[in-house]
């Protein structure tokens, strides 16, 4: 089996080179080509001898994903459909901001969490992605940009629950943020979770990363209705883990709240949310539910969203109404399915 180099850290890459009888610096050279120069072929690695490049073709995997399709929204958002070597399909979303791009990446093919408002959940769980498959989404996206450095922000908010694929996600974050990797700032990498409490605690101890929590309700009955994970990790232990999560100066935990008509968008829901988050260094992203075929839910009205925000701001919370980009190509929050556009 070929070694999947983008899933190795610097020390492992040097050891892999040594095991092949090479000097350790060859491993460092290969990482430079993979992560700094975004090489798409072994032939581009011109400071490696031809004989070594030929040997590497037999020993190492260079590209764990193939780009199948790009859909472009009327607002400039791009949805990238990737194929894995075993025939699965995953999606990433490139979101244009005022002066940079944010890339929303997937950590699993499908998802096992079963959130009722999410189209990905309806696909079921297929498997975890490897660290290299996670990183490769970023590499191929950056490679396709006219100005690769404009891709500055990474969010683990695509298909799957990142903390259910803990080891691979942490390994990928290392290669995304490492000086000898893709060198993204820790401040610009955000991991979103539905609330796996033990892994939240472990993440805070092992990794420096922004955390977002998909909350979507302020009482256990409603949250359990929307998110089955709440039956195992209800709000009290979840918010306790959030309070204990180590935050560098001036950073906050982001709580994502998808507003669904008549389910979680009433004044009393906003008031309860304020009570739940009291004392937390919290920012609240309000997102109107993004419909998809077969859903039982409807988005809250714009007026109701504004009223919900007004209550939160009145209680001195930072509450931002997030505009969902890419709705027309099914690229908005909760709409990813890993399906071709023509299907």
The pLDDT tens digits for 151-160 are: 999 999 999 9
Q: Looking at residue 323, what is its pLDDT?
A: 86
Give the ranges where the chain is alpha helix by DSSP (H). 10-19, 24-31, 50-59, 119-122, 131-143, 166-177, 197-206, 220-226, 229-232, 235-244, 267-277, 302-314
Mean pLDDT taken over the chain: 94
pLDDT above 80: residue 81: yes
Q: Looking at residue 63, what is its pLDDT?
A: 94
Instruction: Give 92-134 as a DSSP string.
Output: EEEEE-SSSEEEE--SEEE-SS--TT-HHHHT-EEEEPPHHHH
pLDDT above 70: residue 283: yes
% of the chain with per-residue pLDDT over 90: 87
1 or 147, higher pLDDT: 147
Q: Which residues pair with 214 in a beta bridge?
A: 256
User: Which domains does the chain carry?
Assistant: 3-61 (1.10.150.530), 65-329 (3.20.20.70)
Q: Looking at residue 299, what is its pLDDT?
A: 95
Q: Looking at residue 328, what is its pLDDT?
A: 84
Enumerate the active-site residues: 91, 333
Mean predicted confidence (pLDDT) in 104-122: 94
Residues 6+ apart with CB under 8 A from 227: 113, 114, 115, 116, 194, 195, 214, 216, 217
- For residue 13, the SS3 value is helix
pLDDT above 90: residue 6: yes
Q: Looking at residue 341, what is its pLDDT?
A: 59
pLDDT above 90: residue 200: yes
Mean predicted confidence (pLDDT) in 6-28: 93
Mean predicted confidence (pLDDT) in 209-227: 97
pLDDT above 70: residue 324: yes
Question: Would you give the end-to-end CA distance of the chain in angstroms?
Answer: 34
Residue tagged 């556009």 (tokens): 341
Q: Looking at residue 214, what is its pLDDT?
A: 98
Confidence category of residue 173, pLDDT binned at 50, 70, 90: very high
Q: How far is C-alpha 225 from the geometric centre of its chain's CA atoms?
A: 24
% of the chain with per-residue pLDDT over 70: 99
pLDDT above 50: residue 343: no
pLDDT above 80: residue 69: yes
pLDDT above 50: residue 78: yes
Whole-number Cα distances in Å, 37 to 21, 29, 61, 270: 25, 11, 17, 48
For residues 131 and 137, what is the distance between their CA atoms, to the nearest angstrom?
A: 10
pLDDT above 60: residue 5: yes
Mean predicted confidence (pLDDT) in 237-259: 95
């Amino acid at each position: 089996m070929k070694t999947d180099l983008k899933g190795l850290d610097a020390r492992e890459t040097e050891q892999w080179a040594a095991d092949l009888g090479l000097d350790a610096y060859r491993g460092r050279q290969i990482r430079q080509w993979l992560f700094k120069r975004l090489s798409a072929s072994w032939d581009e690695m011109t400071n490696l001898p031809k004989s070594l490049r030929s040997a590497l073709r037999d020993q190492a995997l260079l590209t764990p994903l193939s780009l199948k399709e790009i859909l472009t929204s009327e607002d400039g958002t791009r949805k990238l459909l990737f194929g894995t070597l075993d025939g699965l399909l995953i999606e990433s979303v490139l979101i244009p901001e005022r002066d940079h791009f944010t890339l929303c990446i997937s950590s699993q093919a499908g998802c096992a969490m079963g959130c009722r408002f999410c189209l990905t959940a309806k696909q079921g769980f297929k498997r975890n992605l490897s660290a290299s498959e996670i990183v490769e989404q970023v590499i191929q996206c950056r490679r396709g940009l006219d100005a690769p450095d404009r891709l500055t922000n990474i969010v683990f908010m695509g298909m799957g629950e990142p903390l259910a694929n803990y080891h691979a996600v942490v390994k990928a974050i290392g290669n995304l943020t490492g000086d000898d990797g893709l060198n993204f700032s820790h401040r610009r990498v955000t991991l979103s979770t539905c609330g796996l409490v033990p892994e939240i605690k472990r993440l805070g101890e092992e990794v420096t990363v922004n955390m977002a929590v998909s909350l979507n309700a302020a009482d256990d009955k409603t949250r359990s209705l929307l998110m089955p994970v709440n039956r195992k990790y209800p709000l009290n232990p979840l918010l306790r883990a959030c309070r204990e999560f180590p935050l560098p100066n001036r950073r906050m935990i982001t709580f994502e709240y998808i507003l669904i008509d008549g389910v979680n968008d009433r004044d009393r829901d906003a008031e309860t949310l304020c009570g739940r988050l009291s004392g937390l260094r919290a920012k609240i992203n309000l997102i109107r539910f993004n419909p998809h075929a077969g859903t039982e839910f409807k988005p809250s009205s714009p007026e109701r969203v504004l009223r919900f925000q007004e209550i939160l701001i009145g209680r001195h919370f930072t509450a931002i109404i997030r505009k969902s980009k890419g709705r027309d190509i099914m690229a908005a929050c909760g709409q990813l399915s890993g399906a071709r556009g023509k299907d």
